[in-house]
A and B are shown apart, each in its own frame.
Chain A
Amino acid sequence: MTAIAPASKPRSASHALRLLFKALALGFLFAFAVIEIAPFALTIANSFKCDAAVENRPMPFIPLPETVTCRDEDGEYIAADEQVSGIFFSPSVDGYRRVLNDKLPRWAFNTAFLSIAVTILRVIFDSMAGYALARLKFPGHRAFFFIILGTMMIPGVVLLIPRFLLLKQLGLLNSYQGYIVTLAADAFGILLMKQFFESIPREVEEAAMVDGANRFVIFFRIVLPMATPALTALTIFSFQGNWNNFMDALIILGGNTDLYNLPLGLTVLRGSGLDVQYDLVLAGSVITTLPMALIFLFFQRYFVEGISYTGLKG
Chain B
Amino acid sequence: MTSPPVTGPAVAPRHRGGPGPARFRPRRTPPAGTARRARRGVLAHWRQYLAISPFFLIFGAFSFFPVFYSLYLAFQRWDGMGTMQFVGLDQFRFLLDDPVFWMSIRNTLAIWVLSTVPTLFGALVLATLLHSVRRFKGFYRIALYIPNVTSIVAVAIFFGAVFSNNFGLVNAILGTVGIPPVPWLSNPWLIKLVIALLMTWMWTGYNMIIYLAGLQAIPTQIYEAAKLDGAGPVRTFFQITVPIMRPIILFTVVISTINGLQSFSEPQVLFGSNAANPNLGGPGQAGLTTLLYFYQSAFVNNDYGYGAAIVWAFFVLILVLVVVNWRLVQRGRKS
A binds B: no
- Residues on B lying within 8 angstroms of A by beta carbon are none
- Residues on A lying within 8 angstroms of B by beta carbon are none
